[in-house]
Structures are given as C-alpha cells and as structure tokens.
C-alpha cells in the first residue's frame, strides 16, 4: 500500500441503543469487526455516522472511544465539514485530533455555492487544518457537484489536500480527475457498487458503507483490483452487488444497520429524520445475510 489511505476505509455507522443514546459497546464491537476483517483505515463522523444528528458532546465521546478501541492498529480519519465555512474553520482549530491522521471534509451543502465558492471554502479548510485533508464530493446529498476543474485546482494549489472521495457516480468525471491529477493525489471511490471499475481506472480505493458489514470480502475485492487481478475481484464484486444495492434502497445507513443487527453487531436504530428501512427492503437484506453467513 503506497499510502495509509490506499485500500478500504470504512465510513463507520454510529450505533444507537433503543433509547436513542449512542451505544458505545456496539461501537467497540463494530470497530473490532472492521479491523479484524482486514480494512486499511476507519472514517469517523462522516455522513454514514449520522453526524448531523449528534451533539457536540456525543461527537467528542465517539472521537475518543474510537481512538481508544483502535489502539493505533489502523489510521483514523475524522469527518469535519459543514455549510458554514467559519464554523468548519473553528472546528478545525478547536478539535482534539490526537490519534487521527487526516480530515474528511464534505463539499458545502444546501447553500449551492458556485465553483469559486467551493474553492475558497476548501482554501480556508486547507489553510486551517492541522491534518491532511480529503475532499468529499457527494452531489446527491449536497445539491452541488464539485467539477473536475475545481478538484484539480485544489489538488495542485494545496499540498495538504491529499485526496478526494468521489461519490458523484459519474465515471467520466472521476476518470478525468484520475487522468489529470498530481501523482501523489489520491482518488477514492465513494460509491460501493462502482468501486471495482473506479479502482481499475486508477483510483486508490474506497471509503465504504458496505464494509461495515462485510469488511473482509470488500477489502479483499479492493486489494485484488489494485493489483489488477480482475477475475477474482469480479467474483467478489458480483457476490456483493445485490447487497450493495439493497442497503441503499430505502436510506443509508438504515440499510447497513439492518444487516449489522442480523450479524449481532449493533441495533438497527437511526435518528430522525431518518427511519428504519421498510419491511420489503428489510427482508431482502436479511435474506442476503442469511444466505451468505
């Protein structure tokens, strides 16, 4: 692995108890499940971790719990993003990053900034972050697409912007970034079902939701893709493909939490405005897990 962020990172879910409080015992079980499955790094408090619904105290407790449980076995990335640049800068200045190796910062959402606004936002992030920065482009959630030109401009202008998590679902866009990026800049898949073709096109790996449930299989598929063992990577890709699709049919991370409950890792609860998956999707997920256990 040429970088700590080559291979499979897991966008950790945040487990909740039935009373809606954070389930720290289940979080410990999940972290160990992922590390024992052979993943390369963990991402804490991203979208999949329902960070928008967590209080400041809860976030701080989760940050420290993951550091303690991980015990330096794998690198950690912390999600620090938002739609107010000043608030993001303040978080970068005041957060205790002990135990973390990089920041994942989502493209500003809701405001729908112009490309120059996105650039200036990330300029402030880069200039104030004590850790290397991974950009995160996810237009399906933010309402705005960061174009290849903006991504490449940032990659060239700031040495501490080291990667982009690309979840645009646009292979042509992703390949344009891969083709023109600086050699040391990483492109990371943000779409589980496109990870194999994206890695085969030259990406460094993935930050995955699926790998919460299937860390061993998913990380092996990525490693095989990185060494161009297409035949064996393809076998795992198609074995997991239905599951990849099922867990996003009725909201994420509700889908993967349904699988994790069946695997006895954590309860399926999510916080409003999210709700658990509908009965038909639940049955599809449970049937898949049962038949592949």
> In the predicted model, is pLDDT for residue 273 greater than 70?
yes
Check if 136 is active-site. Answer: yes
Mind listing the pLDDT tens digit for each residue in 67-108? 999 999 999 999 999 999 999 999 999 999 999 999 999 999
Mind listing the pLDDT tens digit for each residue in 17-40? 999 999 999 999 999 999 999 999
**Which one of 109, 136, 214, 288 is the catalytic residue?**
136
Assigned domain for 197 exists? yes
> In the predicted model, is pLDDT for residue 1 greater than 60?
no
**Which one of 29, 59, 165, 181 is the catalytic residue?**
165
Helix, strand, coil fractions of the chain, as percent rounded to 5: 50, 15, 35
Assigned domain for 237 exists? no
Assigned domain for 292 exists? no
DSSP state of 284: H
- In this predicted structure, what is the pLDDT of residue 8? 98
Average pLDDT, the chain: 97
Check if 165 is active-site. Answer: yes
Spatial contact of 209 and 244, defined as CB atoms under 8 Å apart: no
- Burial bucket for residue 231 (CB in 10 Å: 0-12, 13-18, 19+): exposed
Assigned domain for 254 exists? no
Task: Measure Cα distances from 252 to 53, 249, 268 in Å.
Answer: 14, 8, 11
Assigned domain for 257 exists? no
* Share above pLDDT 90 across residues of the chain, in percent, rounded to a whole number: 99
Alpha-carbon torsion, ordered 87, 137, 275, 218, to 10 deg? -130
Mind listing the pLDDT tens digit for each residue in 245-264? 999 999 999 999 999 999 99
Assigned domain for 239 exists? no
CATH number of the domain to which 66 belongs = 3.20.20.70
Task: Measure Cα distances from 273 to 159, 191, 252 in Å.
Answer: 38, 23, 12
Q: Where are the beta strands (DSSP E) in the chain?
A: 7-11, 41-44, 76-79, 102-106, 133-137, 161-166, 186-189, 205-208
Mind listing the pLDDT tens digit for each residue in 143-192? 999 999 999 999 999 999 999 999 999 999 999 999 999 999 999 999 99
Which among 194, 43, 159 has a CA at the least distance from the CA of 106? 43
- In this predicted structure, what is the pLDDT of residue 293? 86
CA distance 254 to 70: 24
Q: Residues 208-231: what's their mean pLDDT? A: 98
- Burial bucket for residue 184 (CB in 10 Å: 0-12, 13-18, 19+): exposed
Q: Residues 219-225: what's their mean pLDDT? A: 98
Sequence-separated (6 or more) residues with CB below 8 Å from residue 81: 88, 104, 105, 106, 107, 108, 136
Assigned domain for 181 exists? yes
Q: Which residue range forms the structural domain that includes residue 133?
A: 7-230
Q: How many domains does the chain have?
A: 1
> In the predicted model, is pLDDT for residue 15 greater than 60?
yes
- In this predicted structure, what is the pLDDT of residue 160? 98
Spatial contact of 216 and 19, defined as CB atoms under 8 Å apart: no
Assigned domain for 282 exists? no
């Amino acid at each position: 692995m040429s970088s700590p962020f080559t291979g499979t990172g897991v966008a950790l879910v945040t487990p909740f108890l039935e009373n809606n409080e954070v389930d720290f015992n289940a979080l410990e079980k999940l972290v160990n499940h992922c590390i024992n499955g052979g993943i390369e790094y963990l991402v804490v408090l991203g979208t999949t971790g329902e960070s928008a619904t967590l209080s400041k105290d809860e976030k701080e407790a989760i940050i420290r719990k993951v550091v303690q449980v991980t015990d330096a076995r794998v690198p950690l990335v912390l999600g620090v993003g938002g739609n107010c640049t000043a608030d993001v800068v303040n978080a970068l200045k005041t957060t205790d990053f002990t135990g973390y190796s990089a920041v994942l910062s989502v493209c500003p959402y809701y405001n729908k900034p112009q490309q120059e606004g996105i650039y200036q936002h990330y300029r402030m992030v880069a200039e104030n972050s004590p850790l290397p920065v991974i950009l995160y482009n996810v237009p399906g959630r933010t309402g705005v697409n960061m174009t290849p030109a903006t991504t490449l401009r940032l990659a060239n202008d700031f040495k501490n912007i080291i990667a982009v998590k690309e979840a645009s679902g646009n292979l042509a866009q992703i390949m344009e970034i891969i083709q023109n990026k600086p050699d040391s800049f990483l492109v990371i898949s943000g779409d589980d079902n496109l990870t194999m073709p994206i890695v085969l096109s030259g990406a460094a790996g993935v930050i995955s939701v699926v790998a919460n449930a299937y860390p061993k299989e998913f990380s092996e598929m990525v490693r095989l893709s990185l060494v161009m063992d297409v035949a064996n990577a393809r076998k795992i890709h198609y074995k997991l493909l239905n599951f990849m699709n099922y867990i996003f049919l009725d909201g994420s991370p509700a889908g993967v939490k349904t699988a994790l409950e069946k695997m006895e890792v954590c309860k399926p609860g999510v916080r409003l405005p999210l709700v658990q998956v509908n009965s038909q999707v639940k049955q599809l997920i449970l049937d898949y897990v049962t038949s592949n256990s």
